[in-house]
Amino acid sequence: MVLARFILRGPSQAALVMASSALLSIILMPFSWISAAALILVVLHQDKEAAFKVTAIAALAVLVMSWVIFGAPVLAAGYLLFLWLPAGLIAYVLRQSVSLTLSLQLLTVLGLLIVTGLYLLFPSMGETWREAFEQILKPALEQSGTRVDPQKLENLLQLFSHAVIGLLSIVVIFNILIGLLIARWWQAGLFNPGGLAREFNELRLGKVFASAALLFLVANTFVDNDWVLGSMLVMLTMTLVQGTAIMHGVIAKKQLSRGWMFGFYILLLLIPQVTVILAVLGLLDAWVDVRKLISPATQS
């Protein structure tokens, strides 16, 4: 919690963490989580005026650096629009509502709005990315001596071109989501031990969310459209978050050791098909509270 205490010492310290983490995320993306978390912690613990001040200082710092490095304020504009402003909005909703569920529901809506915006403003984005990846992948595969069926490669690139707006939207909301959880973990560690665990273990995104996810899932089966596919990917991502929360809740209710949680995430990494089970679990939970079906651990 040393970093969290440093962030709360004042606007300059918080802005330093936000700006430096943002610049480091160019090399390693997880630093963007720290950048978002720093702002979210300021919003949660202080007020919106402090958050505006911190954001302005951090944006100015990144603006200067991006101008020096790239000759244009591209980085500052990108972080302001796609990380700090939406992260600050989600944090403000959490501060006012004290509801992690409402915050994640709003984050889902934000993801859908990003998909819609990209689809309307950049209709040829998928094809542009497909061509770029084709120019990179084909020479790389030839140099490595790897033999790939040209038709399979073309199909993969075509699938990627249709999914790219959804994937980009997922990157944005995922960065904000992890930043939000880190900030709540910091806040809970400093002022409310165990608070985040209780909130996440009880997370339920609700029937409206699950119904919308099913609607996009069915629509994508019958409609070949990039917006539908992108929206479905965003909804399924949040469904996986719901499924993960259920697993956390079950492990906590059964009072299992941390090894079970560690094993769960290792299984998730080694066997991606587990995500299908989590998605189904997340959807099912809207109508059947899975955690209530699990009997608590018996006390000896």
Alpha-carbon torsion 141, 145, 148, 151, what sign? positive
Asked whether the beta carbons of 110 and 168 are under 8 A apart, the reply is no
- In single-letter form, the type of residue at position 22 comes to A
DSSP helix/strand/coil, 261 = helix
pTM exceeds cut of 0.85: yes
pLDDT, average across residues 43-70: 87
Residue 153: pLDDT over 90:
no
pLDDT, average across residues 197-212: 92
Residue 300 has a pLDDT of: 46
Asked whether the beta carbons of 230 and 115 are under 8 A apart, the reply is yes
Residue 26 CB partners (closer than 8 Å, separation 6+): 75
DSSP helix/strand/coil, 191 = helix
Residue 297 has a pLDDT of: 66
The residue to which tokens 């919690």 are assigned: 1
The C-alpha atoms of residue 25 and residue 205 are separated, in whole angstroms, by 30
Q: What is the per-residue pLDDT across 68-121, written as a single tens digit (0 to 9) for each? A: 877 767 777 888 888 999 999 999 999 999 899 999 999 999 999 999 999 999
Residue 117 has a pLDDT of: 94
Identify the residue with better confidence: 154 or 50: 50
Angle between helices 258-270 and 274-284 (to 10 degrees): 120
- Region label for 223, one of left (φ > 0), alpha (ψ between -120 and 50) or beta (otherwise): beta
